[in-house]
Amino acid sequence: MPRVRQFDEQEVLNKAMELFWKKGYHATSMDDLVKFAGINRASLYGIFGGKKELFNKALEHYRSTNNNVLQRFLSQQTQVKAGLRNLFYHLIEESLADKDCKGCFVVNTTTELIPGDEELETRLKNNQEAIQKTFYNFLLQGAETGEVSEDKDLKAIANLLYTFFNGFRVISKISDDAQDLRTSVDTILLLLD
């Protein structure tokens, strides 16, 4: 008779994601994962494969979840500039509430593992393109309604917003001055005037 699983795979994946996000790939051992996830080593290997496979699944889960949240958030905004301000101000609150100062799992992974992993680099570039496209499509809505001037280079602004979005997550790991962070947001949004 086959064994019945005594754990929730999604919960284990969430815990692995949290640990990799907090400690990074190299600093997280399989023993750490076993203890933090609360399952035995054989189950962890049997369901998720080795450490690298589990890391890849955790990163994809984070990436997919966050991209969906970003798209959903922006789709609920009625104005482009106010919507972007709302997004970044929300990130400020979220970052300041994170006592572990984890920043962004994708950014952390990029700085820790790239260059050196071509497959991962391709996945991270695909993530970059997806987020840039999300920003571009949001800006395009503003151009279509007249909120953003037609003479603006929306692709360049979308790329800059992506860079700011990621740089912002790095700076928020060391800055706890919400007003300074808000001022940075307000300054970059002047590009849309």
**41 and 100 fall within a common domain:** no
Dihedral of the alpha carbons of 46, 51, 54, 58, in degrees to the nearest 10? 160
pLDDT at residue 8, as a whole number: 84
pLDDT at residue 150, as a whole number: 84
Q: Are 101 and 170 in contact (CB under 8 A)?
A: no
Q: Does some domain include residue 49?
A: yes
The confidence band for 6, taking pLDDT boundaries of 50, 70 and 90, is low
**171 and 97 fall within a common domain:** yes
**114 and 152 fall within a common domain:** yes
**113 and 171 fall within a common domain:** yes
pLDDT at residue 111, as a whole number: 95
CATH number of the domain where residue 4 is located? 1.10.10.60
Q: What is the mean pLDDT of residues 67-78?
A: 97
Average pLDDT over the chain, rounded to whole? 93
**92 and 146 fall within a common domain:** yes
- Is it the case that residue 109 has pLDDT exceeding 70? yes
Tally of domains in the chain: 2
The confidence band for 5, taking pLDDT boundaries of 50, 70 and 90, is low
Q: How far apart are the first and last CA of the chain?
A: 67
**102 and 45 fall within a common domain:** no
Q: How many CB atoms lie within 10 A of CB 2?
A: 4
Q: Are 157 and 191 in contact (CB under 8 A)?
A: yes
**13 and 87 fall within a common domain:** no
Helix (H, G, I), strand (E, B) or coil at 90: helix
Q: Does some domain include residue 68?
A: no
**113 and 49 fall within a common domain:** no
Q: Does some domain include residue 34?
A: yes
Q: What is the mean pLDDT of residues 84-91?
A: 97
Q: Does some domain include residue 67?
A: no
Question: Residue 14 sits in which domain range?
Answer: 1-55
Name the one residue in this structure whose structure tokens are 């279509």: 144
Q: What is the mean pLDDT of residues 74-94?
A: 97
The confidence band for 1, taking pLDDT boundaries of 50, 70 and 90, is very low
**128 and 188 fall within a common domain:** yes
pLDDT digits (tens, 9 = 90+) for 170-189: 998 898 899 999 999 999 99
**95 and 154 fall within a common domain:** yes
CATH number of the domain where residue 188 is located? 1.10.357.10
**31 and 114 fall within a common domain:** no
The confidence band for 4, taking pLDDT boundaries of 50, 70 and 90, is very low
Q: What is the mean pLDDT of residues 136-151?
A: 95
